[in-house]
Amino acid sequence: MRRSSGGKVRWFTVVFLMGGTVNAAHASPSNGVAGAPRSDPLTDAPSTPSAASAVPDADSDWRVAVRVVPPLGRWGAGKSKDLNYPTVPTLKLPLAGSWGGVAVGAIAPNGVWMEGSASSLVATAGTGWETTMRAGYEFGSSPKPNAWTFSIPVYFGYRYANLPYVMTTDGHYFTEDMSLLVTGARLVLARSFRRSAIELGLDLCGSLPLVRSEPRSPAWRQETVLWIDAAIVLGWSTRL
């Protein structure tokens, strides 16, 4: 009877030690390897892109713009010469105004921009028209939502003009048909919103004739050699 009691005590001790070993193994932080750190699904989950990086950057978007010159919002002056008296230069002031104009353009993310425009022209002798293609670079701050920004787009381009003279001769109406090289700059103040912006600009432009048509009358031999104008430009642009 004493031997049986001692055997039971030994078996109970062995079972207790084995159970403690198994419990310790389950309680230790491991992933199947003793001593390895335990993974936490909340902290070890793969990182995801932040919300800021998921939002498109405004600086990486193209913008398109529609701009208008209001009636009488453009005036210019020019230097001309009479081929019958080539040593006597004449200043035309104003050379021509405008009943209005419209332009459509695009601005790349790197600041390069281009624009095509058409305008009416008016002078004391009558009316005319012109079309211009411009390309250049936009200096200044990038558009920021709900903020005012200032930029200076500079450009060069080509213009074809049916330019009315500032005066008539012998009661006849004359225009000059010319191809011109243009260069200039635009001062632009813009108010940006979420995806669009409104613009208020002042355009300063100089034009040099490259090719011209023959005078319509041999008695009228005045030619424009320089054309400078300024225009108020109102615009609206949006990001694509």
pLDDT per residue as tens, the chain (240 positions): 444 555 554 555 554 555 555 454 444 444 444 444 544 545 454 544 444 444 445 567 899 999 999 999 999 888 877 777 767 667 666 677 899 999 999 999 999 999 999 999 988 777 889 999 999 999 997 778 889 999 999 999 999 999 887 665 555 667 888 999 999 999 999 999 989 999 999 999 999 999 987 665 656 667 888 999 999 999 999 998
pLDDT at residue 80 in the model: 79
The span from the CA of 234 to the CA of 237, in Å, is 10
Contacts of 42 (CB under 8 A, 6+ apart): none
The span from the CA of 40 to the CA of 158, in Å, is 67
The span from the CA of 145 to the CA of 208, in Å, is 39
What is the DSSP secondary structure assignment for residue 58, as one 8-state letter?
G
The span from the CA of 194 to the CA of 205, in Å, is 32
Which helix (H) or strand (E) element contains residue 120? strand 112-123
A 10 A CB-CB count for 178 gives 21
pLDDT at residue 54 in the model: 42
Cα 190 to chain centroid distance, Å, stands at 11
* Residues 158/134, Cβ–Cβ less than 8 Å: no
Tell me the one-letter amino acid at 58: A
Q: Of the candidates 77, 86, 136, which has an alpha carbon nearest to the alpha carbon of residue 111?
A: 136
Residue 101's DSSP bridge partners are: 69, 119
pLDDT at residue 53 in the model: 43
Write down all domains in the chain, each with its CATH number in brackets.
Answer: 63-239 (2.40.160.20)
pLDDT at residue 165 in the model: 74
